[in-house]
Amino acid sequence: MTQRIYNFNAGPAALPLPVLEHIQEEMLDFRGSGMSILEVSHRSKWFEDVLDDTTARIKRLLKLDDRYHVLFLQGGASMQFCMVPMNLAVAGKPVDYVDTGTWSTKAIKEARIQGLDVRVVASSQEKEFTYIPKEVPSDGKAAYLHLTSNNTIRGTQWRLFPDSAGIPIVCDMSSDIFSRIFDPAPFGLIYAGAQKNAGPAGVTLVIVRDDMLERVPATLPTMLKYTTYVEKKSMFNTPPTFAIYVMGLVTQWIEETVGGIEKMEGVNNRKAALLYDYLDSQNFYRGTAMPDSRSFMNVTFRLPTEELEQKFIKESLASGLGGLKGHRSVGGCRASIYNAVPTEAVQALVDFMKEFARKNG
Ligand SMILES: *Cc1c(COP(=O)(O)O)cnc(C)c1O
């Protein structure tokens, strides 16, 4: 009998069980091909259908109009930290960034390496990135404004995106894409490594608006230009076929089983409320993010001592709750409650937390 745990990993992370079962079912003979999806040519009709279907589902889920191109890249979200400034900077203009922690900080570093005029227009560094800045000043001069929608490590999230005064927003949505409704209109480019909330590691989703492509310098290497992926439908070279296929199944699950992004957001809101309501009701655990900046995807908290945190992580795993250790850079505990983490898992976590507090408080 297969024994599965409740998986709170930050990434790679939980995938919906029906998706895993679907993969298993068609593994040996993919849709009448007599081969697995891992073995078919990326130029075959079988894979072409997967790519088209996945693209169409992403466009429907995020309500993207015809100006937006859906691309599948490699190199992780980290590759986008350098590709964004390479492709979207404009000569003579600054680029604006908001620093909300580790991933934003890395994106800023990559833009600076390229010698650009990088302006950090808002930051929450002085309070250890425990909040989302309230004001994001704009003088209307920047080529783009870069944000990280959900801060996977610090457990903060933009609940509402700032008004960018017409400046295209570039956003790293690696850990909350497909988790909630948002208006795509202010976004010039969105990117997301799949392994948090959208699929397995190995593919990075990039959504780019038509007008951004006019900026792409002709002098960039072919593989580093967004225009190459647009012109060649993400198939200039061999794309990560299996990862795209799984992303297709995940988006199908959101559309057909969950019932769309609205429903998904409702489930996510209930899951986050379960956990935060409990955190707010007691004094043993302490949430680390400011209440108005809390992430609905990554819930970060501390226990009274590091010894108790280690004990908590060990005993929770023994009780079938995995992945609750905080990021190595910040310590503490973190429950990642992405789309694929069911409500029962969050309820089981809250029950475990109550019992642990009762025994150790
Ligand atoms: C995990 C993560 C990254 C890094 O992703 P890679 O695919 O490993 O490069 C970047 N940004 C955010 C918000 C993340 O959560």
pLDDT over threshold 70, residue 1: no
In percent, the amount of the chain with pLDDT more than 70 equals: 100
Residue nearest to atom 12 of ligand 1 (CA): 174
User: What is the pLDDT averaged over residues 279-298?
Assistant: 98
Residue range 14-31, pLDDT digits in tens: 999 999 999 999 999 999
Q: What is the DSSP string of 203-219?
A: -EEEEEEHHHHTT--TT
Indicate which residue of 46, 158, 196, 253 is catalytic.
196
Residue range 317-331, pLDDT digits in tens: 999 999 999 999 999
172 assigned to active site: yes
Residues contacting ligand 1 via CB (< 6 Å): 11, 76-78, 103, 148, 152, 172, 174-175, 193, 196
Residue 269 annotated as binding site: no
Residue 172 annotated as binding site: yes
Mapped onto helix, strand or coil, the DSSP state of residue 129 is coil
CA distance 116 to 215: 15
CA distance 49 to 85: 32
Residue range 43-93, pLDDT digits in tens: 999 999 999 999 999 999 999 999 999 999 999 999 999 999 999 999 999
pLDDT at 226: 98
Mapped onto helix, strand or coil, the DSSP state of residue 61 is helix
CA 32–ligand 1 middle distance (angstroms): 36
pLDDT at 354: 98
CA distance 73 to 269: 30
**Sign, Cα dihedral of 247, 229, 79, 93:** negative
CA 78–ligand 1 middle distance (angstroms): 6
pLDDT band at 197 (very low <50, low <70, confident <90, very high): very high
**Sign, Cα dihedral of 102, 103, 104, 107:** positive
Indicate which residue of 103, 176, 253, 325 is catalytic.
103
Q: Is the whole-model pTM more than 0.95?
A: yes
Give 253's strand partners.
Answer: none
**Residue located via tokens 């992403």:** 58
What crossing angle do the helices spanning 45-61 and 241-252 adopt, rounded to 10°?
A: 40
All structural domains of the chain, each given as residue ranges with its CATH number in brackets, are 18-257 (3.40.640.10), 260-360 (3.90.1150.10)
The structure tokens listed for 178 are: 């497909």
Q: Which of 78, 82, 151 to mutate to test the pocket of ligand 1 (most atoms within 8 A of CB)?
A: 78
CA 89–ligand 1 middle distance (angstroms): 21
103 assigned to active site: yes
Residue 241 annotated as binding site: no
CA distance 235 to 66: 20
Contact 128, 156 (CB under 8 A): no
pLDDT over threshold 90, residue 297: yes
Contact 5, 320 (CB under 8 A): yes
Residue nearest to atom 14 of ligand 1 (CA): 174
Mean pLDDT of the chain: 97
CA distance 354 to 337: 18
The structure tokens listed for 33 are: 């091909």
Residue range 139-163, pLDDT digits in tens: 999 999 999 999 999 999 999 999 9
- CA-based nearest residue to 19, from 238, 197, 172: 197
Residue 288 annotated as binding site: no
Indicate which residue of 172, 176, 253, 271 is catalytic.
172
Q: Which of 80, 81, 103, 105 to mutate to test the pocket of ligand 1 (most atoms within 8 A of CB)?
A: 103
CA 103–ligand 1 middle distance (angstroms): 7
What crossing angle do the helices spanning 343-360 and 306-318 adopt, rounded to 10°?
A: 130
CA 133–ligand 1 middle distance (angstroms): 21
Contact 190, 207 (CB under 8 A): yes
The structure tokens listed for 137 are: 């000043």
Q: What is the DSSP string of 300-359?
A: EEE-SSHHHHHHHHHHHHHTTEE--BPPTTT-SEEEE--TTS-HHHHHHHHHHHHHHHHH
CA distance 134 to 42: 46
Residue 112 annotated as binding site: no
Residue type, 98: V
User: What is the pLDDT averaged over residues 264-289?
Assistant: 98
Report CA-CA distances (Å) from 73 to 176, 196, 211, 343.
Answer: 18, 16, 20, 32
